[in-house]
Amino acid sequence: MAEEDIRNDRLKKLALLREAGMDAYPARVERDYTLAEVGERFEALEADKSVITIVGRVMAKRGQGGIMFADLYDGTGKFQAVFQQGSMPDDAFTLFADTADTGDFIGVTGTLFVTKRGEKSLQVSAWKMAAKSVMPIPDAWYGLKDEEKILRERYLDILLNQDVRDMFYRRAKFWQVVRNYYLEHGFLEVETPVLENSPGGADARPFITHHNALDIDVYLRISCGELWQKRLLVAGFPKVFEIGRIFRNEGQSREHLQDYTQLESYEAFGDMRSGMLFIQEFYRRIATEVYGKYSFEINGHTVDLAEEWKEIDFNTAIRERFGVDPLNCTEDEAIQAVRDAKIEVGEALNLARAVDHLWKAIRKTISGPAFLTGIPVYLEPLAKRSVGDPRTVERFQILLAGSEMGKGFSELNDPLDQRERFEAQQKLREAGDDEAQRLDEEYVRAMEYGMPPSFGFGMSERLFSFLENRPAHEAQLFPLLRPKPNDHA
Same domain, residue pair 119 and 263: no
Query: In this structure, is residue 443 part of a structural domain?
Result: yes
Instruction: Give the CATH number, domain containing residue 211.
Output: 3.30.930.10
Q: Which of 71-75, 128-132, 348-352, 393-397 has the lowest mean pLDDT?
A: 348-352
203: closest CA among 407, 384, 463, 401?
A: 407
Query: In this structure, is residue 325 part of a structural domain?
Result: no
The pair phi, psi for residue 418, each rounded to 5°, is: -60, -45
Query: In this structure, is residue 317 part of a structural domain?
Result: no
pLDDT band at 489 (very low <50, low <70, confident <90, very high): very low
End position of a domain, from candidates 137, 169, 200: 137
Answer whether the bond into residue 415 is a cis peptide, omega within 30°.
no
Query: In this structure, is residue 336 part of a structural domain?
Result: no
Burial class (CB in 10 A: 0-12, 13-18, 19+), 12: exposed
Print the SS3 string covering 59-89.
EEEEEECCEEEEEEECCCCEEEEEEECCCCC
Query: In this structure, is residue 348 part of a structural domain?
Result: no
pLDDT of residue 324: 94
Q: What type of residue sits at position 432?
A: G
Please state, for a pLDDT cut of 90, what percent of the chain lies above it: 78
Same domain, residue pair 94 and 220: no
How many domains does the chain contain in total? 2
**Pure H helices in 82-200:** 90-99, 147-152, 154-160, 162-184
Q: Which of 198-207, 238-247, 333-342 has the lowest mean pLDDT?
A: 198-207
Q: What is the pLDDT of residues 3-60, one digit of tens each?
A: 899 999 999 999 999 999 999 999 999 999 999 999 999 999 999 999 999 999 999 9
Same domain, residue pair 177 and 268: yes
Same domain, residue pair 260 and 129: no
Print the SS3 string covering 438-474.
CCCHHHHHHHHCCCCCEEEEEEECHHHHHHHCCCHHH
CA Rg, the chain, in Å? 29
Strands 216-220 and 208-211: antiparallel
Query: In this structure, is residue 347 part of a structural domain?
Result: no
Instruction: Give the CATH number, domain containing residue 14.
Output: 2.40.50.140
Bridge partners, 244 (sequence order): 262
Quote the pTM value.
0.89
Query: In this structure, is residue 145 part of a structural domain?
Result: no
Same domain, residue pair 427 and 395: yes
End position of a domain, from candidates 137, 169, 202: 137
Same domain, residue pair 132 and 21: yes
pLDDT of residue 475: 94
Same domain, residue pair 169 and 76: no
Query: In this structure, is residue 339 part of a structural domain?
Result: no
Q: What is the pLDDT of residues 248-305, one digit of tens each?
A: 998 788 888 899 999 999 999 999 999 999 999 999 999 999 999 999 999 999 999 9
- Determine the straight-line distance between the first and last CA of the chain, rounded to whole angstroms: 25
Q: What's the rounded Cα separation, in Å, for the pair 111 and 42?
A: 10
Enclosing domain of residue 15: 3-137
**8-state DSSP, 385:** B
Same domain, residue pair 125 and 53: yes
**What residues contact 56, with CB distance under 8 A and at least 6 apart?**
35, 72, 73, 74, 78, 79, 105, 106
pLDDT band at 140 (very low <50, low <70, confident <90, very high): low
pLDDT of residue 366: 96
pLDDT band at 487 (very low <50, low <70, confident <90, very high): low
Q: What is the mean pLDDT of residues 55-73?
A: 95
**Pure H helices in 20-74:** 35-47
End position of a domain, from candidates 92, 109, 137: 137
Same domain, residue pair 197 and 126: no
Same domain, residue pair 131 and 174: no
Q: What's the rounded Cα separation, in Å, for the pair 125 and 250?
A: 58
pLDDT of residue 141: 45
Q: Which of 89-98, 399-408, 427-436 has the lowest mean pLDDT?
A: 427-436
Same domain, residue pair 22 and 77: yes
Q: What is the DSSP string of 317-354?
A: HHHHHHS--TTT--HHHHHHHHHHTT---SS---HHHH
Same domain, residue pair 453 and 412: yes
39: closest CA among 79, 97, 99, 93?
A: 79
Angstrom CA distances, 238 to 102, 233, 338, stand at 56, 6, 43
On average, the pLDDT of the chain sits at 92
pLDDT band at 440 (very low <50, low <70, confident <90, very high): confident
**What residues contact 303, with CB distance under 8 A and at least 6 apart?**
295, 296, 297, 367, 368, 369, 400, 401
